[in-house]
A and B are shown apart, each in its own frame.
Chain A
């Protein structure tokens, strides 16, 4: 049986749709995603909800799984994510190479950090397997793989000394920003787009807040004043995004990473704005549910099947970019790209649920006495 629509799956589904659109730079509908009005974007939401989902995997204190089973289960999940990353990267490379040949345009081989794969394949294939070489917009899953490799440690700390989990996570985050500790790409010189040592904090925050007690309980009990505090923070973010005004980064005191708006290190201004944003937006879910149950069901379906939908959405974003390039991006093409993309993502989510439904019905029928 599939899960009923719920807030976590709904927001996850929305994040997947926004990621799909935001990964097609220049598309008209990009202006309707919250990335244009917020210091944080769908990536923060995706990782936070991944942490929340980890809580569901780990279970509550009352329904504990054995530690070894848990470690193996989380390790298995990391391998699944790794396999997904390798699969979609290879498909993306094939799409770029195929289109470069069909369109007789070698420029496509250089798109999205693919150049090294084609120009220096021997070394770069090692980098692909190590996930230290990442194509542009195919850089969230490597982060997720590393977070899932950290997940057994997170789960064990949470089980035995839960009150230390968030302080330890915060310590690693601050050390990463203050030293700073870069996560380097290889063989092409550069940094991971998402530094896992910084982004683990938002993952852990999702994990901790999903719990009914501790910080999660505190937030639930004081959600009204938290929302009041969040209003000016979110509004300041909107004002910044619309006006472009932010103090000159070279004028900040050191260590400057604490004050910059930076995605790689998920710096404090961005993180604080994100927390304020979810505090506010979480209030809207009951109203959205009342206004459009169909929308909630639809996005929840995407959210329930997030890995499949994310993988297909990543390839669709790349395909969308190529289609926009061929047809020189106009409103009609952009509309077609978005509608067909979301439809294919929906089909991707629907198929495994339909398969599961058939399996359950057959099982039920077989169990019935003839």
Chain B
């Protein structure tokens, strides 16, 4: 069973994750009933309940509930403020030390804020994804957030698009919270939102992110039809109508 969404997060479930398999995680699950996830990124443990592991801790709980008998070890090695190029070097070291089945990489925000050239960032991400694949480690990328203010920032949009393109080309799963948060935001503008203030929405976004992530991982392991063979694209939660102003999603 794919992990469920809470009511609050259903507004933003359209295309929150791509359809990409997690064969190494599935193999680890079948073999040991245990998966080891290495979380790398600026705010790997952000969100409410930092002492319980933040959103990655929430995702671990959801996964344990969704997959009976599953033991999930989530190791947070987020270093705040670091750029992708530094994170990439660290991923290789941490993989050598911890030997995870999957890397959860929240990438792009710091590079977008620091105006790192898109091509440099792209080269770093592609190189790291290739290296992880060669070492039989699955990757889940966590994309950029939706922030009203950053909509005007061309570089920020370019980073977001680049990450989606790279994920599609490399067949890597990406949790697209940008789209999800934008829908939450648009619902708020039209008076139907649960979080009228953007600051609250950003915070609530982490709760939803945990759910999207857990959902994406279960789909990545089992495919959209539960434990059966993967055949059709996944239907990730309820599919509300896409607002007319929203550009088509790319994946």
Contact = CB atoms under 8 A, between A and B. Distances in A.
Interface of A: 25-26, 100, 103-107, 109-116, 118-120, 123-124, 127, 135-137, 186-191, 193, 248-250, 252, 256-257, 260-262, 321, 324-325, 328-329
Interface stretch (B15-23, B26-34, B75-83, B221-229): B75-83
Contacts of A262: 93
A25 B83 contact: yes
Interface stretch (B196-204, B211-219, B232-240): B196-204
Contact of B113 (A113, A189, A321): A321
A145 to B, nearest CB: 19
A136 B79 contact: yes
B114 A123 contact: no
Given A106-B147, A119-B203, 16 more contacts: A26-B116, A104-B148, A104-B149, A104-B198, A106-B198, A112-B81, A115-B46, A116-B54, A119-B206, A120-B47, A127-B50, A136-B82, A186-B51, A189-B44, A256-B97, A328-B155
A312 to B, nearest CB: 19
A88 to B, nearest CB: 15
Interface residues of B, number: 49
B79 A26 contact: no
B50 A116 contact: yes
B43 interface: yes
B80 A135 contact: yes
A110 B96 contact: no
B57 interface: yes
Q: Which of A103, A116, A191 has the most CB of B within 10 A?
A: A116
B145 interface: yes
Given A115-B46, A116-B50, A109 B114 contact: no
A73 B250 CA distance: 63
B80 A124 contact: no
B95 A189 contact: no
8 contacts: A26-B111, A115-B46, A123-B50, A136-B79, A188-B50, A190-B77, A250-B92, A256-B97
A250 B43 contact: no
Interface of B: 42-51, 53-54, 56-57, 76-83, 89, 92-93, 95-97, 109-111, 113-116, 135, 145, 147-150, 153, 155, 198-199, 201-203, 206
A120 B48 contact: yes
Nearest to B200: A106
Contacts of A188: 45-46, 50, 54, 76, 78
Contact of B95 (A191, A249, A261): A249
Contact of A187 (B51, B114, B145): B51
Contacts of A261: 89, 93
A119 B50 CA distance: 8
A208 B224 CA distance: 63
B113 A190 contact: no
Contacts of A257: 97
A328 B82 contact: no
Contacts of B82: 25, 136
Nearest to A189: B76
Contact of A107 (B81, B89, B147): B147
Contacts of A115: 43, 46-47
B93 A249 contact: yes
Nearest to B114: A26
Nearest to B131: A248
Contacts of B110: 25, 111
A324 B150 contact: no
Contacts of A112: 80-81
Complex A-B, nearest 9 residue pairs according to Cβ-Cβ distance, in ascending order? A136-B81, A136-B80, A26-B114, A113-B80, A115-B46, A249-B96, A187-B51, A116-B50, A329-B115
Given A111-B80, A112-B80, A112-B81, A124 B113 contact: no
Contacts of A189: 44-45, 53-54, 56-57, 76
A106 B202 contact: yes
Contacts of A118: 203
A135 B42 CA distance: 11
A136 B109 CA distance: 14
A83 B21 CA distance: 50
B149 A191 contact: no
Contact of A25 (B46, B114, B201): B114
A91 B221 CA distance: 45
A118 B203 CA distance: 9
Given A107-B109, A250-B95, A257-B97, A328 B149 contact: no
B131 to A, nearest CB: 9
Nearest to B145: A107
A140 to B, nearest CB: 13
Contacts of A249: 92-93, 95-96
A127 B51 CA distance: 10
Contacts of B115: 26, 324-325, 328-329
Nearest to B198: A106
